[in-house]
Amino acid sequence: VCGLKALLVSVPLSTSLCLSLWRIIKFMNKKHVLICEDDTGILDVASIVLESSGYTVTALPETTNIIEIIKDVQPDVILLDLWIAGKQGDEITRELKASQETAHIPVIIFSANKDTELIARRAGADDYLTKPFDIEELEQMVKKYLPNY
């Protein structure tokens, strides 16, 4: 899976081929976490930590086409930055929770904003993490929504 991720990052592929490859990954019995974070340091660390814990990770540095990607990929958990270029995390969360296709997917919003908890609740997020968070907090939060994995 890690090799596939490297391939998807290093080789320009069409969106449909990329999504087809993700469908294949979905059938490999690994729980799938989608992370959308524009800080590449946080995105890389969170991806490495969760992949080393046995999860398949889709790492998105921007929100372009995120709703379509989520509907197609159907991750088991979404980690979503609140303040990100393009569509904001709270707006994305509201859209996801309003759709029958995606309302069941747990969304965890994370941000350094002092009002992260309030914003996350108002948006309908399932949970939140305040930045900076440590690796154990991240792992425990994901495990909370995937308890049998």
What's the chain's average pLDDT?
87
Q: For the segment 59-70, what is each residue's pLDDT rounded down to a tens digit? A: 999 998 999 999
Q: How many residues does the chain have?
A: 149
147: tokens are: 């308890």
Query: 74 with 26: CB under 8 angstroms?
Result: yes
Whether residue 14 is predicted with pLDDT greater than 70 in this model: the reply is no
First to last CA, the chain: 17
* Residue that is written with structure tokens 């069409």 in the block: 14
Q: For the segment 81-98, what is each residue's pLDDT rounded down to a tens digit? A: 999 888 899 999 999 999
Q: In this predicted structure, what is the pLDDT of residue 147?
A: 80
User: Cα(105)–Cα(124) distance, rounded to whole angstroms?
Assistant: 11
Whether residue 8 is predicted with pLDDT greater than 60 in this model: the reply is no
CA neighbor of 19 nearest in space, from 88, 66, 63: 66
How far are the Cα atoms of 112, 131, 143 from residue 137, in angstroms, in the given order? 15, 10, 10
Q: In this predicted structure, what is the pLDDT of residue 148?
A: 77
Q: pTM of the entire structure?
A: 0.80
Q: In this predicted structure, what is the pLDDT of residue 34?
A: 97
What are the residues whose beta carbons fall under 8 Å from the beta carbon of 49, sequence distance 6 or more?
A: 135, 138, 139
Per DSSP, 15 falls in state H
